[in-house]
């Protein structure tokens, strides 16, 4: 069997990578959708994705309010909240976004851990 020249293999690889969009890009594609709440949080912002009917959301909301946590809430029963929930690939609430970290469910220990450096004590 005859071997292909090395330059031809490299050329074929370059064409394949370019066709897949992995070569010749000037910008990285966005890692998150426009609806992702991490666009709003920066390094230390806080977003709560919740619902009125969710008991854990109500409990977390009360804990945030008692501790004076500055947060924004998105109701997942609205179009914007539903899109945000899907963008973080969650199907459960509450979802807490602290900076660029996403905590799905009522994981109070992890939430406390992420809020402590921001000066909040739950």
pLDDT of 15: 62
**C-alpha neighbours within 13 Å on the C-beta side of residue 121:** 0
pLDDT tens, position by position, for the chain (122 residues)? 567 677 766 667 666 555 544 444 433 334 568 888 888 888 899 999 999 999 999 999 999 999 999 999 999 999 999 999 999 999 999 999 999 999 999 999 999 999 999 999 99
Rounded to whole angstroms, how far apart are CA atoms 5 and 7?
A: 6
Rounded to whole angstroms, how far apart are CA atoms 111 and 116?
A: 9
102: β partners: 97
pLDDT of 34: 85
Among 104, 116, 117, 122, which residue's Cα sits nearest to residue 62?
122
- Cα angle, residue 40 at apex, residues 72 and 50 outer, rounded to 5°: 40
Q: Can you say whether the dihedral through the CA atoms of 93, 98, 99, 100 is positive or negative?
A: negative
Residue ranges per domain, the chain?
38-118
Q: Token pair for residue 3?
A: 């071997």
The model's pTM is 0.72
Class of domain 38-118: alpha beta
């Amino acid at each position: 069997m005859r071997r292909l020249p090395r330059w031809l293999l490299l050329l074929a690889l370059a064409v394949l990578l370019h066709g897949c969009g992995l070569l010749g890009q000037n910008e990285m594609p966005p890692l998150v959708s426009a609806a992702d709440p991490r666009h709003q949080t920066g390094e230390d912002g806080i977003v709560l994705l919740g619902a009125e009917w969710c008991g854990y959301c109500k409990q977390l909301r009360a804990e945030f309010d008692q501790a004076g946590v500055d947060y924004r809430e998105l109701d997942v029963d609205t179009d914007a909240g539903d899109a945000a929930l899907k963008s973080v690939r969650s199907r459960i609430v509450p979802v807490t976004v602290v900076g660029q970290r996403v905590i799905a469910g009522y994981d109070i220990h992890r939430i406390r851990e992420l809020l402590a450096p921001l000066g909040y004590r739950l």
